[in-house]
Structure 1
Amino acid sequence: MWKINENFSFFRQSVPFVLLSFVLLMMISFWRDELYGIFGESNYVTIHLMMEILIIVVTMSIAIQSWLISRYIVSNRALYIGALFLTISFIELAHALSYKGMPFFITESTTYAATWFYILARLLLSIGCFLIFLVKEKEHHTSSRWLIYSIPFLIISGCFALIYAPTHILPPLVIDGVGPTILKNTLQYIAIAFHVIVMVILLKYFKYAPKIIFLLLASAIYLIFSDILFTIYRDVYDIKNFIGHIFQLCAFYFLFRALYFSSIEKPFQQLLDTQENLEKSQEKMHFMAYHNEFTNLPNERFLMEKLTRNLYISKSQKAILAIEIERIATIKASLGSTYADQLISLVAHRLKDVLPEKYLLCLLREDYFVVVVDEVKNSYHLTQLSQQLQEAMLETFQVQHFSLNGNLNIGIALYPEDSYKGEELVRFALYAMHEASKVPTRLLFYESSMSSEITEKLMLENDLHHALDNQELFVEYQPQINLQTGYITSVEALVRWRHPEKGLISPGVFIPIAEESGLIIPIGQWILETACKQVKQWQRAGLPSIKVAVNLSLGQLFQYDLVRMIQDVLQRTELESQYLQLEITESMTINIDHMTTMLHQLKDLGVTIAVDDFGTGYSSLSYLKDFPIDCLKIDRSFIHRIQTDSTDKALVDMILSMAKHLRLKVVAEGIEEVEQLSYLIASHCETVQGYLFSKPLLPIFLQENYDSIQRNAQNILEKLNVVEG
């Protein structure tokens, strides 16, 4: 933008020169005779001397400036231009001193010498500029400066020897009383031609350096006008001669401006631009240090400094609201940071739309939002505000081709009731936020009892990060028995965690932590690969081929490379896909579009799909006809109460009947009593698993006790007259 404004400003400054030139040309056209000899014949030598002095000063300035900058701007063209104008300045000096009417200079001053010095200067200028612009620009050696600047003295010596030879070698260019000869005009037209060629060359570079090229073009144009005027004037008293000198002076002025701009003004302006850009960069860096990159919201550093400065200004009650986007860690781990960042940005916009401007909204590093409420009327006001924020998230967010939910868990800490310190208030609000995910309202005020629970949970999460590397996780396998044959047809893989200090940690405790933190992705892949590898090892050990069932988490189902990952695992473990069953939960079926595509892709691998904990979800059963499902697993909670609760009994009957009509297999979980088994047999259930037959076992125990487990199952079924002894 600066360059556009600067160029426009310069072109505007050039308007007076254009107007002045136009006026001078008008004077030549309409008042040539009236202005003839206007300065008085006796004054023309002095006027000519004054004009030449100015020209000499400008040309010498160009030469000196080129010499001075050649140590820093090591351009061969700049050095050549300096040497050229040093030559021109000496020749112009000789022209001025040898001008007719000047005192004695070597010989008596004559038109002959003065005119030849003038013509040589014009030819050297035009042809020299032409040759300089033909030369490829490159760096020069500092030592070459003296060599190049010594050339002008050789040229000057040659000119003096040629012009002041004892007998005239060169023909006269001006005849007294007649005017310029054809030779003089021809030589000047040659100079004009070279100037035109130089202009054509310059136009090719106009878009790269418009101001410099404009100045050089203006210089060439004024020189052309000057040469034309010097070819058509009658004698030295003609106004055209005077205006020709003015145009020549203007040409050298523009050339001087071009050199000055390229060597001094432009670098200085670039330095100013660099300083301005540096200041802007510092401002940007400061903004980035205190704001989030994607949402432009204030970050944790900004929040803490704000609380440190303003928390104690007034004694009014204040509140910190910590806000979590539910399952954001899972989305980030499964779909990637790009999707998560886009979702966070969309949620931030909705939060800002709901929150009053006086409330400060920040985004912490862990992707938690924090709202600072400076003046709290009452708890009901905070509850109402939180519910408004949650309601604003009811409409799903469209992130590329995914429809994602932005449900919020909100925790609130109060000042000064909960703490007087800003850092503690934020931490307490985060504690309440984590606990809010366990209650239906997804909203909780901080209570002191939360601190110990959250601390324990955070410590477990930290330890879980290292559990895989430390080989603390292992897999047990629970057999699934076919009720018609009594054979073990499949096993369910169940992950366990043996903590080095706390011992066995319940999956009900660490699996939710893994899902919230996104660790379920690497853990899930490890379980899958371990289970497939184990089944292949059993096959090689001589056990009958059995199928392994592995649970998939919601985070894994949104993993962008899930299908490829499973395919790679099957190839690495060399397990046939027919021996792998993937289990999903009923609550995962809400996103029909995504799940339909994903499950069909998994089905194409040759694996089977089962719905675990069937009957405990809340989704529409229409997914049973849309999804490629092979099996339904009845949740253990229904089996546990099947003998005492008529509702559970009716639900089990309904599931079995529905599966039969849909031609789906059924596995009943949690069989612990013979009476439960007897009822399932009577209801034509196909497969069961539970402690009645075997608890989950380590792979070596299952392998060693495979036959005894199977015989025990057959004995139980024989007693119920299911299989023949």
Structure 2
Amino acid sequence: MRQEERKTIHAAILGAVLFLLIQIFRTPLGRIEDKDLLIAFYLILGCCTVAFGFAIFAQGWLLFANSLSKARLYTSALFLGVSIFDFLHVLGFVGIPGITSYISPEQSLWLLTFSRLASALGIMLIFSREDQLVGNGVKGKVFRNAFVVILLSLAVFGLGNLIVSGLADEPWAETARDLMNMAILLVYLLGAAIIIYPGKSEKSASLLIIIRSLVFFSLAQVFFMNLFSVGELDYLFGMLSSAAAYYLLLTGVYRLTIEEPFQENQQAEARINYLAYHDELTGLPNRRRLMQRMEEVVLQSEQDKSRGFAGLVIMNINHFKNINDSLGHYAGDLLLQLVARRIGDEVRVNEELFSMGADEFAFLMTERTGLENCLVRAGELLRLFETPVGLESGEYHISLSLGVSIYPGDGDTAEQLIQNADTAVHNAKDQGVEIRRYIPAMQMKAKERLKLENDLRRALERGEFYLVYQPQVLLETEEIVGMEALLRWNHPKRGLVSPVDFIPIAEESGLIVPIGEWVLKTACMQNKMWQDAGYHPICVSINLSMRQFLQPNLAGKIDAILKDIGLDPCYVDLEITESMTLDKETAFDQLNRLKRLGVCISIDDFGTGYSSLHYLKNMPIDRLKIDRSFVSDVMEDSNNAAIVSTITSMAHHLKLKVTAEGVENKDQLHFLRQQHCHEAQGYLFSKPVKAAEFEQSFLRPLLEMPS
């Protein structure tokens, strides 16, 4: 329980105990005969009450004009009127000469009753609602409303004075006033209940203080009600409780409308400042903070040449996009947090870890004695991920690529050092190595890569892509039973660009989706044209990228394309990779939708991923394609031979077809036949060729086919 909540409970207990003690000791207290002393105390307490009430008006209406809120203005207007009522009541009750001719002590009690009624209703209505700052557009309206409250208070005072002058001497007036005081007590208690009940379960400190003021308002009302006996002491204790209530209300309104908004602004500014220099997901300092630290390191190194080398390592998670796309963004975010935690736990003195955004981290070593030590430390960071990372869906092996820049040598400024380390890490990923130190030649390659991406964005609309087809042969008869469509790019200036160079760029940039759709349409149209020309129909294999495969409407797109072309789905084979099935539930759902179209589905490059045999046997697939890396060394490497033999045997048991890729010589062909591999493709049969050459060399009219 918070301190303010305890204070509120203690205030309620204190009020109840105070009232009981006064009732218990009422007889000895009643023997106080010095009435002038009691009147003097009453006058002092009354003046304090009026002063607190006017202070509420002053702080809301006159002070802190830049922190206006509706609660402030309405409360200040309300208590201006209430203060006037209380002031006139005190003057009339104590019998100030010149006042009693207008306000008798009896009439002053009615003024007190009207004052308490106004405060009870006003507090309940104002603080039972969510407070709002007064914007410039509505400031005039709120001021007008507050001014109306003041006028209403004064009008009620005038009307009340008229009523009092006619009612004060009536025999039933005292009973009527007691009933009104009872109603006012109920309004105070109802106001406290309404403020406590709605909204958040945890109330702000200011609202709890206002609730405490309502407790003392209620206690004062109990004294003014005269349920047991009436006398100056009851009114004295009532005025004492009122003074406490006014003081608490003054404090609560100040905290609610001025102090708490100010603290909230400070917290918001601190939060904005934190987010400006930290990554929200991992909590690590971000790129902006790294730039500051690098500038500090460069400046310190210039001032103190004995500090030695400073090393910056940029770390990139390999294939993070596949994990993020296949397992979902929640799993991707969790992976980033786990990677940050694993590296952060190993940070030593004079080392700092930063988040560069997305899947990149920066590791700064501010004091290293030489280049070799920096590279050794980078290798230690790599070894942190030799053990798998545990996500909710299982454990996954991940690897990092590292780019290193050293000061001095690889840049004179913080910006150069960061940029060069970033260039080095992308070079490491392109080259398939773990660590690269920056060299100037990398910058030229990075610029070339950027230019290639820009050219790639225009290649599709300029018609620079074309397809080649590689035949797939039935090993038993060496009959052509299929073909794989492969993408090629004829750049107007560079000439033929290798798929190894442009496919990764297309995948990273997202261009692979429209390019993949073009490949699908073009290959299916070509296959349909050959069938319409009277050639024996064969199946065309088309590779799907990860981004394509994860499209929710992929099956609908393919169905529309096939219907538009008029190609039977059984002549289309869609090839996916094992990495696309990391998220088993999503993959199964997508594969089932594709399978319902009637197309064939193959797993390409089988054996290079992490497919589970448990899931493999339930997948709606038709074929496994053995990766060329196993086939190429099958005669020299017994392990590769065992892998090919195992995959083929497993496929037969699962009633799946097997296609071997990369067959280049007769020995490999003979081995595959011994393993009862169904089909093969590779340079032994033909390299990928254009459509015209494929038609001339491998397609046969239906009439020439054996019956």
Matches within 5 A, 1:621-640: 630-631=622-623
What code does the residue aligned with 2:292 have? Answer: E
Cα RMSD of the aligned pairs, angstroms, is 5.3
* Residue 385 (structure 1) aligns with: 377
Distance 1:526 1:334, change over 3 A: farther
Q: Counterpart of 2:186 in structure 1: which amino acid?
A: I
Contact 2:630-2:640 within 8 A present in 1 as well: yes
1:398 and 2:390 aligned = yes
SS at match of 1:501: coil
**CA deviation map 1:122-175 (0-9, x unaligned):** 665677678778989998474574465144335435544677xxxxxx56x7xx
- Provide the residue aligned with 1:360 in structure 2: 352
AA at the equivalent of 1:117 = Q
Residue from 468, 476, 483 that aligns with 1:476: 468
- Relative to structure 1, the CA distance from residue 197 to residue 144 in structure 2 (aligned partners, 3 Å threshold; closer, same or farther) is closer
Question: Which whole-Å deviations, capped at 9, do the CAs of 1:37-92 have from their partners, x for residues lacking one?
Answer: 3x2xxxx4x55764664476467668867877689858889767765664565466
Structure 1 contact 130–197 (Cα < 8 Å) conserved: no
Q: Aligned partner of 1:476: which letter?
A: V
Q: In the superposition, relative to structure 1, how do residues 274 and 529 fare at CA in structure 2: closer, same or farther (>3 Å)?
A: farther
Residue 294 of structure 1 pairs with residue 281 of structure 2: yes
Counterpart contact for 2:403–2:438, Cα < 8 Å: yes
**Greater CA drift, 207-216 or 15-24:** 15-24
- Residue 574 (structure 2) aligned to one of 575, 582, 585: 582
Q: C-alpha distance in 2, partners of 1:405/1:104?
A: 91
CA distance in structure 2 between the aligned counterparts of 1:626 and 1:567, rounded to whole angstroms = 23
Cα distance in 1 for partners of 2:596, 2:184 equals 78
Does the C-alpha gap of structure 1 residues 493 and 114 become closer, same or farther in structure 2, counting only changes over 3 Å? same
- Quote the offset at 1:569 in angstroms: 1.6
Matches within 5 A, 1:193-272: 193-207=182-196, 209-228=207-226, 232=229, 241-254=231-244, 256-257=246-247, 260-261=250-251, 266-267=253-254, 269-272=256-259
CA separation of 1:11 and 1:82: change in aligned 2, threshold 3 A: farther
Rounded to whole Å, the distance in 1 between the matches of 2:163 and 2:39 is 24
Q: 1:156 aligns with which of 161, 165, 180?
A: 161
1:94–1:501 Cα change, 3 Å = same
State which of 485, 489, 494 in structure 2 corresponds to 1:497.
489
When residues 635 and 268 of structure 1 are mapped into structure 2, their CA distance, relative to the original with a 3 A threshold, is closer
CA gap 1:533/1:597 in 2 versus in 1, 3 angstroms: same
For residue 266 of structure 2, what is the amino acid of its counterpart?
E
| Residues 53 and 376 of structure 1, relative CA distance in 2, 3 Å threshold | closer
Change (3 A) 1:76 1:353: closer
Q: 1:706 aligns with which of 692, 695, 703?
A: 695
Is residue 549–residue 580 contact of structure 1 (8 Å, CA) maintained in 2?
yes
Query: Partners in 1 of 2:352 and 2:478 — Cα distance?
Result: 66
Aligned-partner residue type, residue 213 of structure 2? L
Q: Is 1:473–1:498's contact at 8 Å kept on the other side of the alignment?
A: yes
TM-fit CA distance, 1:407: 0.8
Residue 134 of structure 2: aligned partner = none
TM-score, scaled to structure 2: 0.74
Is the deviation greater in 325-334 or in 662-671?
662-671
Distance 1:694 1:402, change over 3 A: same
Q: Residue type of the partner of 2:236?
A: I
CA distance in structure 2 between the aligned counterparts of 1:645 and 1:610, rounded to whole angstroms:
27
User: What does 1:98-497 correspond to in 2, within 5 Å?
Assistant: 114=104, 116-117=106-107, 120-121=110-111, 124=114, 140=145, 142=147, 145-146=150-151, 148-157=153-162, 159-160=164-165, 170=169, 186-187=175-176, 189-207=178-196, 209-228=207-226, 232=229, 241-254=231-244, 256-257=246-247, 260-261=250-251, 266-267=253-254, 269-311=256-298, 312=301, 313-315=304-306, 316-365=308-357, 367-378=359-370, 381-401=373-393, 403-437=395-429, 442-468=434-460, 471-480=463-472, 489-497=481-489
Give the letter aligned to residue 205 of structure 1.
Answer: I
SS across alignment from 1:294: coil
TM-score, L = length of structure 1? 0.72
Distance change >3 Å, CA 384–CA 619, structure 1 → 2: farther
Separation in structure 2 between the aligned mates of residue 503 and residue 514 of structure 1, nearest angstrom: 18
Note the C-alpha offset of 1:595.
Answer: 11
Contact 2:627–2:661, Cα closer than 8 Å, also in 1: yes
CA distance in structure 1 between the aligned counterparts of 2:281 and 2:290, rounded to whole angstroms: 17
Q: Which structure has the bigger radius of gyration?
A: 1
State how far apart, in whole Å, the 1-side matches of 2:644 and 2:20 are. Answer: 106
Give the CA deviation at 1:661: 5.7
- Deviation at 1:298? 2.0
Tell me which amino acid in the other structure corresponds to 2:400.
Answer: L
Moved more, 482-491 or 267-276: 482-491
- After TM superposition, give the deviation of residue 301 of structure 1 in Å: 1.9
| Distance (Å, rounded) in 2 between the aligned partners of 1:54 and 1:115 | 17
Q: Distance in 1 between matches of 2:609 and 2:124?
A: 83
Q: Which secondary structure state, in structure 1, belongs to the residue aligned with residue 466 of structure 2? A: strand
Alignment of structure 1 residues 631-670 onto 2, 5 Å: 631=623, 665=657, 667=659
- In structure 2, C-alpha distance between the alignment counterparts of 1:478 and 1:148, rounded to whole Å: 93
- Does the CA contact (< 8 Å) of 2:465 and 2:487 recur in 1? yes
SS at match of 2:343: helix
Q: Give 1:393 shift.
A: 0.9
**Matched-pair contact (CA < 8 Å) for 2:467–2:519:** yes
Give the whole-Å Cα distance in 2 for the aligned partners of 1:383 and 1:77: 68
* 260 and 570 in structure 1: CA distance in 2 versus 1, 3 angstrom threshold: same
Give per-residue Cα distances to partners, 1:231-258, cap 9 Å, x unaligned.
746xxxxxxx331341242244245436
Give the secondary structure class of the aligned counterpart of 2:542. Answer: strand
Please say which of residues 119-128 and 590-599 is displaced more in the overlay: 590-599
Structure 1 stretches of 5 or more lacking a match? 108-112, 164-169, 174-182, 234-240, 716-722
For 1:224, the aligned partner's letter is V
In 2, are the aligned partners of 1:219 and 1:252 still within 8 Å (CA)? yes
1:679-698 to 2 correspondences below 5 Å: 696-698=688-690
d(CA) in 1 for partners of 2:702 and 2:686?
A: 9
Letter paired with 1:310? V
After superposition, give the CA deviation of every residue in 1:624-663 in whole Å (9 maximum; x if it has no partner).
8776664455777899999x98999989996998599656
Which stretch shifts more, 402-411 or 677-686?
677-686
1:129·1:198 contact (CA, 8 Å) conserved in 2? no
- The offset of 1:299, in angstroms, is 2.0
Give the 3 Å change call, closer, same or farther, for CA 620–152 of structure 1 in structure 2.
closer
Aligned partner of residue 293 in structure 1, secondary structure: coil
Measured in 2, the distance between the counterparts of 1:617 and 1:31 equals: 92
CA distance in 2, matches of 1:77, 1:619: 69
Which residue type is aligned with residue 243 of structure 2? Y
